Amino acid sequence: MVFVIISQFNKIGKVLGEIILKYSIQNHYQNLAHKYNNFWGYSPEFIDSLTKKIIEYLKLTDTDKLVDLGCGTGLYTQAIVSKISFKHPVICVDPSDQMIEQIPKNSQYKTLVNDAVNFADEPGQYNKILIKEMIHHIDDKEKLLKGLFERLTPEGILLLILLPPTIEYPLFVDALRTYEAVQPNYNNLVDLFTKIGFQTIVNFVDYPVSIPKGKYFEMVQNRYMSLLSRFDDEQLKKGLIEMQEKYHDQSNLEFCDRFVFLSAIKPK
């Protein structure tokens, strides 16, 4: 009986922990909304390079019906629109109203404040879907991807972009360890895509990053990655001290930013 009670308490504790974390991440994006583009858009060359790869792997044309799911501030959507004049407005979906408010209010975009899983359950047909660095926030990945499979037209492409299982970012040790513990493995996602019915191609895109140390430290201090919302102020302060000691003799931080591009194609 004691074991059963303890087991139930553990389950309740786990559920509460997940709810608190989800709330923390939602707050993270609401609070970061007005600083987001300043941090992530620190290098126009970086944005431009990645945008060209997105266009290439999604095989985008002006007649496509494109959905940017988990669009945030529309940083990449706007970069894509600057290169392609779509005949249909790009549908930008994000649960954060503060983030999505940063997207221009014109006929090139249709903005929806919505959860990704809810959106995938709603009626609609699209032939291109972009999900960039958002999948790690989804608990029921199979439900999401099944819904999107139904939304895609035959031969439609879902491009899922995520970071690899390990990263070279100049972060503090606990942050890197936490990242490796929570980051979805792209191989498992490939298996899930295949199970649902997609044909999947995996590519890796590397970009050499060079950023002023002060700028990067400011980004970390402001929790530019949702990963950093898992650390309280004191833990983050200790992490920054650790980073300062490690990189004390460097004015610029240089590392390879690697992305996994999963192109999931719906068969005819």
Encode the chain (268 residues) as per-residue pLDDT tens digits.
544 444 443 444 443 344 344 445 555 455 554 554 565 556 789 999 999 999 999 999 999 999 999 999 999 999 999 999 999 999 999 999 999 999 999 999 999 999 999 999 999 999 999 999 999 999 999 999 999 999 999 999 999 999 999 999 999 999 999 999 999 999 999 999 999 999 999 999 999 999 999 999 999 999 999 899 999 999 999 999 999 999 999 999 999 999 999 999 999 9
Q: Could you tell me the CATH number of the domain that includes residue 211?
A: 3.40.50.150
How far the first Cα of the chain sits from its last, in Å, is 55
Backbone angles phi, psi at 44, to 5 degrees: -60, -35
Look up the domain containing 240 and give its range.
Answer: 2-265
Distance CA 18, CA 21 (A): 5
- Residue 66's pLDDT is 98
**pLDDT for res 19:** 37
- Tokens coding 192: 């899930």
How far apart (Å, rounded) are the C-alpha atoms in residues 173 and 248? 16
Query: To 5 degrees, how large is the angle CA 53–CA 58–CA 64?
Result: 130
DSSP bridge pairs for 206: 258
Please tell me the predicted confidence (pLDDT) of residue 34: 52
Query: How many angstroms separate the Cα of 220 from the Cα of each of 27, 94, 208, 226, 247?
Result: 16, 23, 19, 10, 14
pTM value is: 0.86
pLDDT for 183 equals 95
pLDDT of residue 113: 97
In this predicted structure, what is the pLDDT of residue 43? 78
Q: What pLDDT is stored for residue 39 in this prediction? A: 53
CB burial string 138-177: b at 16+ within 10 A, e below: beebeebbbbbbebbeeebbbbbbbbeeebebbbbeebbe
Please give the pLDDT value at position 50: 95
Query: What's the domain count of the chain?
Result: 1
Give the C-alpha separation, 137 to 26, whole Å: 10
